[in-house]
Structure 1
């Protein structure tokens, strides 16, 4: 057995020799937190969220033992800003990260920062300052990619240990690719080695296990050291290009996607079983599972919702959410479905801090709301404030393909059951009642002009309160190149 694991299990065994007293230490133990963020997965892709083709038994078991939320939103329909919202508890526009971070010239073209400012508030930093061990294992994509080699190390954002992919600074796992008929594996993104090391090459189909194994070592060491832990486990599954194991190869984009999704779920089982089967962890660990944005067209599914990755329609911003923690959530809510509480990813930071008993500095003003009791099933409170979005500046049309030239809305807002989308100057409003029309098919602006006027004014006020990007300028162009770059190289 690994020496770290041995030390940990000895610690757990000795703990069981001491009679339980129910004293203050037992009641005030800091909870462990694992935030599992899937890459480019649609709202409907877990089988517990309705996909009849997907097979995700390990996720489904977590769903059956935890709480499923169906009105949870990320704060951008694309990677880097979505992750920024989760990390900071603030709208990503505040930090000028409004689309996926690319090469230096393209970031500048789109009016974006080159990386997340290390002075930004981060959940990990606040937890670390309160005694948590903090680790990030997986995709970062908030600075340090392509030719942006001077970005801050991930540790600057409050993490003790990190392991990332080709889109972050520091130690990393890089993918070897193999498909049927290949005699030798290929390498992609080899120049990422200059963005920090050591770099370990392994089969792309096994990289989730690589991140997971490092996370488990970190978890066991933290437990042996009697420190609560906060872990980001952010695999780059199920983002394209799709590289399932050779013996699990499939036909077409959808088939390959489903094969990668099933393998990802299989790999997650190792983590879930370890937490579930270790009493000291099971009873004091909260696992939060969601996606960073909607799926790539033709790959994942958004269930009943319109839109995909990169769009402000529901399919681009609504994410599956599962919260698991037998010792922390209301036992009566295990296996339940919360379809009434509207929640956002920016709510996670203040809510998880509350669950951990940690207070952020007074100068920090979260855009998210503290809804910890809802996340752990003790209440069904919902956000009191609207949620706002701005489209990625390079996402002008539905697709770079010539026949998909319909322009996308620039802004959107959800307030209660109402969802409004409009242009930067507030024209061409689309108003939907999501309680009756989740697929956003019936524009009700004409029947509800006052509601449309109110929400348009709110969206414009929020938009103008945020630092600008170059979306308006790029909107006058044909667009599309950046979208193609994203799908090929991110």
Structure 2
């Protein structure tokens, strides 16, 4: 009997042991119910699409019926911000949920060319935790199609590539489709050159996305990023669409731009039709842009750049609103969640923590600048706990640092010894001390709820608010500066 009793005790102890879990922090406990209902997640990201470039956001000519229908069925976000006013840092911020300055991506990443400011070293570093890597850790299949632009050495084992950040499958270009959107020759699929592909880039990458979904051999939930090259230069558009828009303008280049945006809409329409047919039960779709519209003829090849900032001030590369306030639409297929127009202040920084919460995934143990907006999807309510801060040292406008806190936006110049900080592309060991010595000066304050086009500086009219926001601004910028990555040749 004693032997039987001992065996019984052992069996009980083993059973309890098997059911126990390794202790983790409370905010990292995986939600088992969430895993049972993990949504598919699709991010659609345009390149240089302006706040006013969709018909649902007020464009008087461009036709975007598929995106308009997506907005009508879901949430149209009128206060959505990209993480930077230019491509590479914007993408780095979206993927990591952190200010791109923390990742050391301060400006667009050019092709590899050694430079004094170490810009040739810039890439999304291996220790950055991304949306696909987090989702993959809780069972997701992951795919990227389109534009990467997060490394100076693309398709090289000397820097991390998309697969190193959690993408199971990828077909992408370093930067723009080349020689244009038509019949591009520079796509890489999972490390292998693809060669020339007939067709237009927006349609090509949707083809690849659908093919990946068709070939997926399991029932895993999926994360799919579709990073369109359009409407970034060099623009090429189907002739039938160009002819359609020549009825509205006598400038062929403008008609080509309008047609370019509609071609994206057609590609989005094809993908949504596929998703509705095959994944309609539980798929969250997020559409936006990496930054605002390019300025016509800012450089010699920008001859098609007829993008619209709508009612906003500025353009791409500005820290005024049009530089990084962008159109955004969210629609959750198969869910009866909130729908309508929302003026909640949301950022691409918020995608990572939101997707993690929806998937029941742990957050990375590091500084995040985004926060989950799940409450917006559920109830249409969301309020930021932390302001949004941008420091873009190569901005076209004078005030290169900006912060939005509630309805208020404050901007400031950077000066060293009463002289404007020179334009810089990168923070490195040769300019770190100089940049960190710069002082915020010459502030302006706007109430964006009352003054969306930043026309009236209220710093004198609202002294109490100004002093409060200014103090917060200085603290937030200093915290960001201290956390910014500095590039050295030893990296």
Contact 1:418 1:434 in 2 (8 A): yes
CA shift at 1:83, angstroms?
A: 0.6
**What residue in structure 2 maps to residue 322 of structure 1?**
329
Query: Between Structure 1 and Structure 2, how many residues are aligned?
Result: 413
TM-score normalised per structure 1: 0.78
Contact 1:155 1:161 in 2 (8 A): yes
Equivalent-residue separation in structure 2 for 1:161 and 1:153 (angstroms): 11
CA shift at 1:72, angstroms?
A: 0.9
CA shift at 1:106, angstroms?
A: 7.2
CA shift at 1:240, angstroms?
A: 1.1
Contact 1:308 1:315 in 2 (8 A): yes
Equivalent-residue separation in structure 2 for 1:57 and 1:265 (angstroms): 7
**What residue in structure 2 maps to residue 268 of structure 1?**
268
Aligned pair in 2 of structure 1 residues 176, 46: CA closer, same or farther (>3 Å)?
closer
After TM superposition, list the pairs within 5 Å mapping 1:466-485 onto structure 2: 466-467=480-481
CA shift at 1:429, angstroms?
A: 1.0
Equivalent-residue separation in structure 1 for 2:59 and 2:266 (angstroms): 17
Equivalent-residue separation in structure 1 for 2:260 and 2:34 (angstroms): 41
Equivalent-residue separation in structure 2 for 1:115 and 1:195 (angstroms): 18
SS in 2 for 1:384: coil
The reply to whether residue 157 of structure 1 matches residue 165 of structure 2 is yes
Structure 1 residue runs of 5 or longer lacking an equivalent are: 1-23, 179-184, 398-406, 471-490
Q: Kindly name which structure, 1 or 2, has the bigger radius of gyration based on alpha carbons.
A: 2
Q: Of residues 281, 285, 289 in structure 2, which corresponds to 1:283?
A: 281
Structure 2 residue runs of 5 or longer lacking an equivalent are: 1-31, 297-305, 415-438, 485-491
Q: Of residues 84, 102, 118 in structure 1, which corresponds to 2:110?
A: 102
TM-score normalised per structure 2: 0.78
**What residue in structure 1 maps to residue 432 of structure 2?**
none
CA shift at 1:455, angstroms?
A: 2.7
CA shift at 1:108, angstroms?
A: 5.3
The reply to whether residue 381 of structure 1 matches residue 379 of structure 2 is no
After TM superposition, list the pairs within 5 Å mapping 1:317-396 onto structure 2: 317-330=324-337, 333-334=338-339, 336-339=340-343, 341-361=344-364, 363-374=365-376, 376-391=377-392, 393-395=393-395
**What residue in structure 2 maps to residue 221 of structure 1?**
215
The reply to whether residue 237 of structure 1 matches residue 227 of structure 2 is no
Aligned pair in 2 of structure 1 residues 93, 176: CA closer, same or farther (>3 Å)?
closer
CA shift at 1:28, angstroms?
A: 2.1
The reply to whether residue 423 of structure 1 matches residue 413 of structure 2 is yes
Aligned pair in 2 of structure 1 residues 420, 26: CA closer, same or farther (>3 Å)?
closer
How large is the RMSD of aligned CA atoms in angstroms?
Answer: 2.9
Deviations 1:25-56 (A, max 9, x none): 99923210001111110112111111111100
**What residue in structure 2 maps to residue 487 of structure 1?**
none
Contact 2:169 2:190 in 1 (8 A): no
Contact 2:39 2:284 in 1 (8 A): yes
Contact 1:312 1:412 in 2 (8 A): yes
After TM superposition, list the pairs within 5 Å mapping 1:37-436 onto structure 2: 37-105=45-113, 109=117, 113-144=121-152, 150-167=158-175, 175=179, 196-203=191-198, 206-222=200-216, 224-249=217-242, 251-278=251-278, 281-298=279-296, 299-330=306-337, 333-334=338-339, 336-339=340-343, 341-361=344-364, 363-374=365-376, 376-391=377-392, 393-395=393-395, 397=396, 407-424=397-414, 425-436=439-450
CA shift at 1:113, angstroms?
A: 4.8
Equivalent-residue separation in structure 1 for 2:167 and 2:190 (angstroms): 17
Contact 2:171 2:189 in 1 (8 A): no
